[in-house]
């Protein structure tokens, strides 16, 4: 598995497996086991996904050494504060049945992110987290976090797909040593992604699926990607992207698909902020 070195020197796999919306306990556990057996070493969950226990169970059943796995989880909004972050992190660690996590992210850019970040800096210093980062932060929010804290985020996990390419945000992050990580690389199939003529034509050229083309495009931009599936054959397909390379012309064709608009919602939409900040979970 190809890796990227984060700004604190630790290595992170460039291809990962996510478990968002895997609410069936048995299915989630089996999917993580299948993903590890398919070659994935980066497993991404979150307190708000409410499946950390299942991920932990799957990790325990794995024959892969803990130091070969890269486990990410995230802090949910209701505990985005100094004390809240410390308490919720310990609960996540217990659910995952681990001694440490490789990456811990502030899931949303709201609440007392500075207090939560200071708590995460301390947890990192204590050896309970190897790298700390954020999710869904626009560059202006990243700049604010960096200006008033000691540790620069190692990762920012954001939506990246052919229709929302983050063409300004990604270079800005990379210039500050922040590793971009893509959630929803397939835009959940919105805008006819899997049937898009540009993507299907490129896939036919290389004998690859549209999904493989998209993941390879993300990979060649130096972005970590998180693919999600409960089907083992699709997991194996999604990880098999290292045996071809998109030409500069193909990369430009995909760049031309950008709409600079989320396939889902804007994190700057007041109505969405109100909904997210009001979402209280038993985590």
| pLDDT tens by residue, 224-243 | 999 999 999 999 999 999 99
Q: What average pLDDT does the structure give for the chain?
A: 98
For residue 283, being part of any structural domain is answered with: no
For residue 164, being part of any structural domain is answered with: yes
For residue 148, being part of any structural domain is answered with: yes
Q: Residue 82: which CATH number?
A: 3.20.20.100
Residue numbers in the known binding site for substrate are: 107
Q: Are 29 and 57 in contact, with CB atoms under 8 Å apart?
A: yes
Question: The domain containing residue 31 runs over which residues?
Answer: 3-277
For residue 282, being part of any structural domain is answered with: no
Residues known to be catalytic: 49
At residue 107, the pLDDT reads 98
pTM: 0.97
At residue 1, the pLDDT reads 78
Measure the CA–CA gap between 82 and 87, rounded to whole angstroms. 9
For residue 244, being part of any structural domain is answered with: yes
For residue 174, being part of any structural domain is answered with: yes
| pLDDT tens by residue, 180-218 | 999 999 999 999 999 999 999 999 999 999 999 999 999
Total domain count, the chain? 1
Residue numbers in the known binding site are: 107
For residue 62, being part of any structural domain is answered with: yes
Question: What DSSP string describes 27-85?
Answer: HHHHHHHHHHHTT--EEE--GGGT-HHHHHHHHHH--S-GGG-EEEEEE-GGG-SHHHH
| Cα end-to-end span (Å), the chain | 32
DSSP state of 164: B
For residue 23, being part of any structural domain is answered with: yes
| pLDDT tens by residue, 152-184 | 999 999 999 999 999 999 999 999 999 999 999
Q: Is residue 16 scored above 90 in pLDDT?
A: yes
């Amino acid at each position: 598995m190809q890796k990227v070195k984060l700004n604190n020197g630790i290595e992170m796999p460039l291809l990962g497996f996510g478990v968002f919306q895997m609410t069936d306990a048995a299915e989630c556990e089996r999917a993580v086991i299948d993903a590890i057996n398919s070659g994935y070493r980066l497993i991404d969950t979150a307190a708000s996904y409410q499946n950390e226990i299942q991920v932990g169970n799957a990790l325990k059943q794995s024959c892969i050494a803990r130091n070969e796995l890269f486990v990410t989880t995230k802090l949910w909004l209701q505990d985005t504060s100094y004390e809240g972050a410390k308490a919720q992190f310990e609960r996540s660690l217990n659910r995952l049945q681990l001694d440490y996590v490789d990456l811990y992210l502030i899931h949303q850019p709201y609440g007392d992110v500075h207090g939560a970040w200071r708590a995460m800096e301390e947890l990192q210093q204590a050896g309970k987290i190897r790298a700390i980062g954020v999710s869904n932060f626009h560059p202006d929010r990243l700049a604010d976090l960096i200006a008033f804290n000691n540790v620069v985020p190692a990762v920012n996990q954001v939506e990246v797909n052919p229709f929302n390419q983050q063409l300004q945000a990604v270079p800005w992050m990379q210039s500050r040593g922040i590793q971009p990580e893509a959630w929803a690389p397939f835009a959940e199939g919105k805008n006819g992604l899997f049937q898009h003529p540009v993507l299907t034509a490129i896939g036919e050229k290389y004998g690859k699926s549209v999904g493989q083309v998209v993941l390879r495009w993300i990979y060649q931009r130096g972005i970590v990607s998180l693919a999600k599936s409960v089907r083992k054959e699709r997991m194996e397909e999604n990880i098999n992207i290292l045996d071809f390379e998109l030409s500069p012309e193909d990369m430009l064709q995909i760049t031309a698909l950008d709409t600079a608009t989320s396939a889902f919602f804007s994190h700057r939409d007041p109505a969405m902020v109100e909904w997210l900040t009001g979402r209280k979970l038993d985590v």
